Structure 1
Amino acid sequence: MSVYELPVHRNLLHCSYANSIASVPVGNSQFWPLYAIRLLSHQSSSTNICPDEVKVGDEVLNQIIAPRENASRCSHETFDACIDKMCRIGHLAAAAQLLKSLCDGKIPLSSSKAYDMVLLAASESGDTTLLFQVFKDSLVSCKSLSSTSYKSFANAFTRTNDSNKLLEYVKEIIEMTFPNCIVINRIIFAFSKCREIDKALQIFNQMKLLSCRPDLYTYNIILDMLGRAGRVDEILHLFVSMKEDGIAPDIVSYNTLINSFRKVGRLDMCLVYFKEMVAVRIEPDLLTYTALIESFGRSGNIEEAWTLLREMKLKNICPSSYIYKSLIGNSMKMGKVELAMNLLKEMKLSDSKLAGPKDFKRRKS
């Protein structure tokens, strides 16, 4: 039987599309998508899908039935188009089944785009069960998901208070990926970006309960998240726990602490951790000096801030316009007009050499 003659029974088309896809016998893994897309094209004709969308199904079908030698070049675009259409018309279970069939049949996808589409659609529909199944399938397929998919995972749980289900899923993911922390770290990071601090902390605590040892990157994510939320007491507690767990803080850890205390006006604590990082032979960088100079300036210690500016230049660390503007503004507030004018002149002369936004990007752990 040719691929053009794949049977499409009338009674099958009238039942649930997801059940239809799941019931298709898979003799040849390449034929399954053909059958799925043909069903999709027929199904579209009975819904409110515009002609252009139906045409997508026909084009996808023509691409898939191309000779085997052409499949390797166009199959990923074909499958992406098919899955995109399934998601747009709400057939998420079928899209998920197609992804699983491709994985089981060892048909590679060139990127995580297909997974991204299904995870986003599942997240927006609030279907956390389907979302988790697709997420697990992506891990099995060894496909590295994009930050968009991790964000979809986190967003799905911002709409629910079912912490038990979340922690159950996290437990399963940890069991699948242990001892590697990359996946869990990216999940925690996604929750922190969604400002779901408590859920991120629940996942972090779940790691510890399951003897999945958080690494330096895990701690840095949590430190940064707490710092942005102004929860400095928890930062101090976590920083102590970090060292007790045998994780040595790095430049990112110390910068996070110093910057967090800068935000709440605690110059004293900024200096404590600045001295500690120097004592353990971690060299201050642009972020360190920026936080300290602003802290000194805001507290009225202009001379100390000026000293730090000279020190960083001696170490060949280029100041930014932000540092100069902060110092100039604080100097004016303290009535040090001459110093402010000298700083303004220096900033203009150094304009082409000043550090830019890219220089403030955090180093990866």
Structure 2
Amino acid sequence: MRVLVVNATSSLLLLSPTSQSPPQLLSAITNAIKPKPPPTNPKIPITSPRPPPLLMNVALRSADRVRYCAEMASKLAMDKRFDDFVMILESNGYDLPALLGLLDAKMVSAGICGLICEGRIGDVVRVFRRVEGLGIGPFELCDESVKAGFGLELRRLAKEGELGEVVELMEVLAGFRMSVKEFVDPFKIIEMCVEKRDPDMAVRYAHILPRSYIWFSSIIREFGKKRDLVSALVVFEASKRESSGPNMYACRTIIDVCGLCGDISKARNIYEELLTQKITLNTYVFNSVMNVNANDLRYALHVYKNMQHLNVPADMVSYNILLKACCLGGRVDLAREIYEEVKQVASTGALRLDVIMYSTIIKVFADAKMWSVALQIKEDMLLAGVTPNVITWSSLISACANVGLVEKAVQVFEEMLLVGCQPNSQCCNTLLYACVEACQYDRAFRIFETWKGNVVAVEHSSGNDIANLQCSNSGSHFPHLAEVFAFSPTTATYNILMKACGTDYYRAKTLMDEMKMEGLSPDQMSWSILIDICGRSGNVGGALQALRNMHDAGAKPDVVAYSTAIKACVDNKNLKLAFSLFEEMKRYPVKPNLVTYNTLLRARNKYGSLHEVQQCLAIYQDMRKAGYSPNDYFLKKLIEEWCEGVIQDNNQSQGIISQCCSRKKIDTEKPQTLLLEKVAVHLHKDNKRNLVIDVRGLTKVEARIVVLAVLRMIKEKYITGDPIKDDMSIILGARKEIGGVADNEFEVKNAIVKLLQDVVGLAVVSTGPETPFILNDNRWHRRNSVLKQNECRCNSDDSSARRPTVLQRLKVTRVSLDRWLRKRIGATLC
């Protein structure tokens, strides 16, 4: 009985609507529930204290007490006084199930939603954790309005970009065994993680979602679309730690992402690592690896052989990827073998050839210009009961167009319409392109006008009744078409027609205006074609104006547009403007390509000034730095002619040049890189103070060109008022300690001495080494110590690597150079 009184007291203590201390709470409850006391006789002494009214509650029935507690707890929850609410729950341990059944879920949910609306999420979480500590699921006390409230709050946070708070709250709710997937679209959260480049947060979010192994793949793919391979790899590594076994979804996706980001080697490393770990890959992973390596046919076939070795069955996608690799690699023979293999497998019923397979193999032969084989495969396709689609017909039209068979291409186009296949813009553009490539320009325009007006002829199957539709043109160029098709020209359509304009600038400009009226925007190719038309018609000003209009229209000029404009200037002998455009395109910047460099290097057939030579040599060096291999012979010949001009008059025959060029034709297969680099270095450096010419490694003809180039540079600078202030020194090569001067070095020395003394008339002095060098690890190191020179000379038995390399030099005195320059300039003036 004593224990019961204590429990009853504790229960009533918790029912206070205030936060009073227990003695005050007891007094308040007692005053509230005690009846009016009967009048007492003051004359009668009270010998014992009257029991407090609280003890009267013991006589109440247990069910009434629980109901009363439930009502009070519901009211407290609705008033958002959840500390008192939880205290009531904690004080009714044995009667807790009955109490929970009597709670008003709407009142409790109203209080929780009120806290959520006030942003007091922390208070809600704290209450939930205390309730969960009693073994009660927090959401067992609430209705659906609480979930709706959390959903609104999460969507608000997501809209404001509070990614960390969203994921943290979802983690908490998921810990309370609540499904959070429906609160916010998962792809919205993944998109936020991708935009913020936060793979760790994306991994945290994936952990709380059901079937997380699929969501890991989705996250990897989304990072890949943003070309963020680093973040995708972080998520992939997390997916491996998450799952007990290999996640084939993630493996396939990360390989696809590597290919999308252009890191083929990383895709191969992942694939080979999986094989090393003895993980059995499925068909889809193998397909992804082959598809990523489609540009490397050898490796794609290697993967396919591994696939066969591991007994992994190939599907139609596998064979389609192999055919794609053969198409990219130009291996028609191998594509035919794969096609025969697929047909054999299909004959057993293991596979069924689909339209994609046929379309791919047709494209292989179309690109290889094997149009007859492509048409034969179309017949096989029909016999197999596979209906060609628009991609198939487009490839067939391309097969005929690639070899210039315009009539055959038109026939295939008509056949496509007869079977009821609606052509797309690619089919129409391919047919127009075939006409333009065959120089049938008028026919291309007539076909275009026919399509644009939806003009065709309708022929019944009997072939007798033909009804011609009303048209803007006089007749149709397709007399066997089955129905009218909707034709919507594209920008590529107008680009093809602009090529058909030849040199008619105004017709091309009209097409561009019509393109704009159709709601299409001219692209970079449109402007490049217009620039080319101006160039071929001799209108350099129009070409430059088109380039400027391209800027104004918002289409950034690319390398094709600039190269076309440069070609227009070169073709019309405006080289100064061509080089100016070249400098402009590098400022924007637009990276020149091989066509740009070759156009500029072949712009001149003769050099007249030092500036022109320096300009072309700078382009030549820039071209080599960009990784292109120029044709050195053409440029070398021009440089040689310019160099020889320093000692020959314009009316003299070029006997020396012809003699040098005829000597084994200067061996056009031999690269002239060293010679041109030597010339470029000497012509671009400042030689005011120290004229040093290094001809080591050159033949006597090449050394002659370098020396003459420097002499011509000196002459042109002297004319502009730059006098000679020092002697000119020529480094010939190394004298060997045994055997004297090498044969080639001897020939170079004699050729240069003969040139300078006999032809030019300069005073040449042969000098010894001014500075000794020794060769060590293929590098020349200056040694200033005379003591070490003598030591090296004395120790003749030492290895040749320690012997000093003696450089042979020729010196041309400043006085003789000055005399020669005065004489040459005076003769020129006369």
TM-score normalised by length of structure 2? 0.30
Of the three residues 371, 387, 405, the one matched with 1:301 is 405
Does the 8 A contact of 2:366 with 2:402 survive in 1? no
Of the three residues 299, 303, 319, the one matched with 1:219 is 319
Name the aligned partner's letter for residue 189 of structure 1.
N
Q: Give the CA deviation at 1:123.
A: 4.7
Of the three residues 295, 319, 335, the one matched with 1:235 is 335
CA distance in 2, matches of 1:70, 1:249: 44
Q: Give the CA deviation at 1:265.
A: 1.9
Tell me which residue corresponds to 1:65.
172
Q: Give the CA deviation at 1:184.
A: 3.5
Determine helix, strand or coil for the equivalent of 1:274: helix
Name the aligned partner's letter for residue 272 of structure 1.
Q
Determine helix, strand or coil for the equivalent of 2:280: helix
Label 1:200 to 1:154 Cα distance change in 2 as closer, same or farther (>3 A). Answer: farther
Label 1:226 to 1:343 Cα distance change in 2 as closer, same or farther (>3 A). Answer: same
Alignment gaps of 5+ in structure 2: 1-121, 127-159, 456-484, 491-830
Higher helix share: 1
CA distance in 1, matches of 2:367, 2:280: 39
Label 1:102 to 1:169 Cα distance change in 2 as closer, same or farther (>3 A). Answer: farther
Does the 8 A contact of 1:131 with 1:153 survive in 2? no
Q: Give the CA deviation at 1:196.
A: 5.6
Name the aligned partner's letter for residue 166 of structure 1.
Y
Does the 8 A contact of 1:80 with 1:114 survive in 2? no
Of the three residues 349, 355, 366, the one matched with 1:251 is 355
Does 2:390 match 1:286?
yes
Does 2:312 match 1:208?
no
CA distance in 2, matches of 1:71, 1:126: 24
Deviations 1:254-313 (A, max 9, x none): 211211222232223323323332333333332222222233234333322222222211
Tell me which residue corresponds to 1:324.
428
RMSD: 5.0
Corresponding residue pairs, total: 297
Does the 8 A contact of 1:298 with 1:330 survive in 2? yes
Q: Give the CA deviation at 1:78.
A: 12
Tell me which residue corresponds to 2:418.
314
Deviations 1:301-329 (A, max 9, x none): 33222222222111111223433343344
Higher relative contact order (CA 8 A, sep 6+): 1
Alignment gaps of 5+ in structure 1: 5-51, 358-365
Name the aligned partner's letter for residue 417 of structure 2.
K
Of the three residues 155, 158, 161, the one matched with 2:263 is 158
Instruction: Give identity over the alignment, percent.
Output: 17
CA distance in 1, matches of 2:387, 2:302: 33
Of the three residues 486, 490, 497, the one matched with 1:353 is 486
Does the 8 A contact of 2:259 with 2:292 survive in 1? yes
Tell me which residue corresponds to 2:676.
none
Which deviates the most, 213-222 or 328-337? 328-337
CA distance in 2, matches of 1:167, 1:190: 14
Tell me which residue corresponds to 2:239.
134
Deviations 1:34-92 (A, max 9, x none): xxxxxxxxxxxxxxxxxx99x754553344324544645459869967x959x9578x6
Q: Give the CA deviation at 1:186.
A: 3.9
Name the aligned partner's letter for residue 230 of structure 2.
E
Tell me which residue corresponds to 2:25.
none
CA distance in 1, matches of 2:325, 2:397: 23
Determine helix, strand or coil for the equivalent of 1:317: coil
Label 1:74 to 1:249 Cα distance change in 2 as closer, same or farther (>3 A). Answer: same
Does the 8 A contact of 1:300 with 1:334 survive in 2? yes
CA distance in 2, matches of 1:155, 1:135: 21
Label 1:135 to 1:308 Cα distance change in 2 as closer, same or farther (>3 A). Answer: farther
Does 2:230 match 1:124?
yes
CA distance in 2, matches of 1:338, 1:212: 56
Of the three residues 291, 300, 303, the one matched with 1:189 is 291
Query: 1:268-287 residue pairs with structure 2 within 5 A?
Result: 268-287=372-391
Determine helix, strand or coil for the equivalent of 1:353: coil
Determine helix, strand or coil for the equivalent of 1:175: coil
Tell me which residue corresponds to 2:812.
none
Does the 8 A contact of 1:95 with 1:118 survive in 2? no
Does the 8 A contact of 1:63 with 1:74 survive in 2? no
CA distance in 2, matches of 1:165, 1:143: 12
Label 1:204 to 1:277 Cα distance change in 2 as closer, same or farther (>3 A). Answer: same
The structure number with the bigger radius of gyration is 2
CA distance in 2, matches of 1:245, 1:238: 11
Q: Give the CA deviation at 1:237.
A: 2.6
CA distance in 1, matches of 2:250, 2:166: 27
Does the 8 A contact of 1:321 with 1:347 survive in 2? no
Label 1:353 to 1:167 Cα distance change in 2 as closer, same or farther (>3 A). Answer: same
Label 1:349 to 1:124 Cα distance change in 2 as closer, same or farther (>3 A). Answer: same
Determine helix, strand or coil for the equivalent of 1:214: coil
Q: Give the CA deviation at 1:156.
A: 8.8
Name the aligned partner's letter for residue 185 of structure 1.
N
Does the 8 A contact of 2:320 with 2:356 survive in 1? yes
